[in-house]
């Protein structure tokens, strides 16, 4: 293993400051990418997709749980997948392990759900074993093939206007590696973090940073 050179503390700090310039450039580039996502066109979902959940049958509209935005991660937990019946696939399980508390997304009028083809009893059994608490639904029709996640995992973002549902963004492959944190999820949504510093189209909802943040057990109802 060929390690980097050993240097004095001042030399290390100089190297760190040099790299920090590039890291700030990357942060600004990521902010610009999120701003571009908020300007992506929307496409209307023209059929009523069906799911089964802990509370029984529902639709794609029902997955919103009354909120304005929805993020759906297609996880592979079903017969034929490595790990079945005791586990979801290894990669999908790593994503599930990283998911932050949903209260922070909910506070931005956003719902996160997972969806697989396993029956609900199997999903609940694996969730209990792994300590996962996110809503997890069973796909009952062509949702996975229609939204690019029939053969590989992926994350779709949706927004609704009343009962009309629109697809706003999609990320898969290595793009899913960043998923799990509150900010990474909000950055792929149509409305973003909804904070005043963001470059968003006119009229988008915005509040100052920190103003809406709470402990996850202390958000207003």
* Inter-residue contact 164 to 47 (CB < 8 Å): no
Q: List average pLDDT for each run of 10 residues in the chain, which is 221 residues long.
A: 96 98 98 98 97 97 98 97 96 96 97 98 98 97 96 95 97 90 98 98 95 94 76
CA 7, CA 5: separation in Å to the nearest integer? 6
3-state secondary structure of 53: strand
Domains of the chain: 38-186 (3.40.30.10)
pLDDT given at position 208: 95
Q: E strands, 3-78, where?
A: 43-44, 50-53, 56-59, 69-74
pTM of the model: 0.95
Distance spanning both ends of the chain, measured CA to CA: 54
């Amino acid at each position: 293993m060929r390690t980097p050179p050993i240097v004095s503390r001042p030399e290390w700090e100089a190297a760190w400051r040099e790299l920090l310039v590039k890291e700030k450039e990357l942060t600004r580039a990521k902010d610009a990418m999120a701003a571009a996502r908020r300007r992506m066109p929307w496409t209307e979902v023209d059929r009523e997709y069906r799911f089964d959940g802990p509370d029984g049958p529902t639709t794609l509209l029902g997955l919103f749980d009354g909120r304005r935005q929805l993020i759906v991660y297609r996880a592979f937990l079903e017969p034929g997948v490595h790990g079945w019946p005791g586990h979801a696939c290894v990669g999908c399980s790593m994503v599930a392990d990283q998911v932050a508390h949903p209260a922070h997304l909910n506070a931005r009028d956003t719902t996160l759900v997972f969806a697989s083809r396993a029956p609900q009893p199997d999903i609940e059994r694996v969730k209990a074993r792994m300590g996962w608490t996110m809503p997890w639904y069973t796909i009952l029709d062509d949702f996975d093939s229609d939204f690019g996640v029939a053969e590989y995992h992926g994350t779709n973002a949706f927004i609704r206007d009343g009962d009309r549902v629109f697809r706003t963004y999609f990320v898969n492959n290595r793009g899913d590696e960043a998923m799990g944190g509150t900010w990474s999820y909000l950055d792929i949504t149509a409305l973003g973090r909804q904070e005043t510093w963001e470059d968003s189209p006119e009229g988008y909802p915005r509040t100052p940073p920190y103003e809406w943040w709470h402990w996850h057990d202390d958000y207003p109802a």
